[in-house]
């Protein structure tokens, strides 16, 4: 496990100006860019694919945290590796071959992450925790930005943190959904160290200052 990281979600940015939005993110203290890939099948919404990520990569050297909300994500491993993704995080619910998919991601040179929806038990991913670099706990139902934080998911964060510590694993714990200056500290105290924030950050005219409000909330 490493230090706390802020991951602005590009899903909440201006789609017509990704280059300038990435520049705005790079001017902040954020370490990651969280990129949601949605296929209209695993979740109702559609975002974009590997070609757009490849275009983004030309404009940023930040860590690209790609969260695939797609059916059978193993089909897209090579495309996202070539596009410049640093980590590819996939849903346990989206594939029957979660072990093989995670191994394929790592073989392609990316870090591998696994994610579960609010209604999915931790037991669904326990068998792959030794393979992953990151576990993402959704703190809203996936597919749309701007949803309210589900506080009951903090128990899952704490459960994953306990398993990691008991087994001696070394993965980050990421939370995504409803993260703002009022919820981030509780996520941290439960065991999370990577914090995805979208609507809360991009609604502000001063993105640099808004990211710092999350840092201040973590330190309080």
pLDDT digits (tens, 9 = 90+) for 133-145: 999 999 988 766 6
- Sheet with 111-116: list strands edge to edge: 5-8, 194-197, 172-176, 134-138, 111-116, 87-91, 63-69, 32-38
Segments in the chain forming alpha helices (H): 18-26, 50-57, 77-83, 98-107, 154-167, 184-190, 199-202, 207-219
Q: Is 36 a catalytic residue?
A: yes
Average pLDDT over residues 90-113: 98
Give me the percent of the chain exceeding a pLDDT of 70.
97
DSSP 8-state assignment for residue 155: H
Average pLDDT over residues 106-129: 97
148: confidence class by pLDDT, cuts 50, 70, 90:
confident
Alpha carbon distances (Å) from 64 to 87, 94, 100, 115, 193:
7, 21, 22, 16, 16
pLDDT digits (tens, 9 = 90+) for 12-22: 999 899 999 99
- Write down the pLDDT at residue 147: 73
Q: At what angle do helices 50-57 and 18-26 cross, to 10 degrees?
A: 50
34 is in an annotated binding site: yes
Q: How high does pLDDT run on average in the chain?
A: 95
Does residue 153 carry a pLDDT above 60? Answer: yes
179: confidence class by pLDDT, cuts 50, 70, 90:
very high
Average pLDDT over residues 170-193: 97
> What radius of gyration do the chain's Cα atoms show?
16
- Write down the pLDDT at residue 220: 84
119 is in an annotated binding site: no
Q: Which of 14, 36, 86, 220 is catalytic?
A: 36
Strands 172-176 and 87-91: unpaired
Under 8 Å between Cβ of 200 and 181: yes
Does residue 1 carry a pLDDT above 60? Answer: no
| Token couple for 167 | 């087994």
60 is in an annotated binding site: no
143 is in an annotated binding site: yes
Q: Which domain holds residue 95?
A: 5-219
67 is in an annotated binding site: yes
Under 8 Å between Cβ of 122 and 116: yes
- Write down the pLDDT at residue 146: 64
Q: Is 176 a catalytic residue?
A: yes
Domain count for the chain = 1
CATH code assigned at 204: 3.20.20.70
Give me the percent of the chain exceeding a pLDDT of 90.
92
pLDDT digits (tens, 9 = 90+) for 59-97: 999 999 999 999 999 999 999 999 999 999 999 999 999
- Write down the pLDDT at residue 95: 96
Average pLDDT over residues 168-173: 98
- Write down the pLDDT at residue 191: 98
**For the ranges 1-5, 99-103, 173-177, which has the lowest average pLDDT?**
1-5
Under 8 Å between Cβ of 71 and 39: yes
- Write down the pLDDT at residue 2: 58
Q: Which of 86, 133, 172, 176 is catalytic?
A: 176
| Token couple for 171 | 């993965």
| Token couple for 77 | 């491993």
pTM for this prediction: 0.95
Under 8 Å between Cβ of 214 and 32: no
């Amino acid at each position: 496990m490493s230090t706390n990281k802020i991951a602005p979600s590009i899903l909440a940015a201006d789609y017509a100006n990704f280059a300038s939005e990435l520049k705005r993110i790079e001017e902040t203290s954020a370490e990651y860019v969280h990129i949601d890939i949605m296929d209209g099948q695993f979740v109702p919404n559609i975002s974009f694919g590997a070609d757009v990520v490849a275009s983004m990569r030309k404009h940023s050297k930040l860590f690209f945290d790609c969260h695939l909300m797609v059916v059978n994500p193993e089909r897209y491993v090579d495309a996202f590796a070539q596009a410049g993704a640093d980590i590819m995080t996939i849903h346990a619910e989206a594939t029957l071959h979660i072990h093989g998919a995670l191994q394929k991601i790592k073989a392609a040179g990316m870090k591998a992450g696994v994610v579960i929806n609010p209604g999915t038990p931790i037991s669904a991913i326990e068998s792959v925790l030794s393979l992953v670099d990151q576990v993402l706990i959704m703190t809203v139902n996936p597919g749309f930005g701007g949803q309210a934080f589900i506080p009951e998911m903090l128990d899952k964060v704490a459960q994953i943190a306990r398993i990691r510590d008991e087994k001696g694993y070394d993965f980050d714990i990421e939370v995504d959904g409803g993260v703002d200056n009022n919820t981030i500290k509780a996520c941290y105290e439960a065991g999370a160290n990577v914090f995805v924030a979208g609507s809360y950050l991009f609604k502000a005219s001063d993105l640099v200052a808004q990211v710092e409000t999350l840092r201040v909330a973590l330190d309080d």
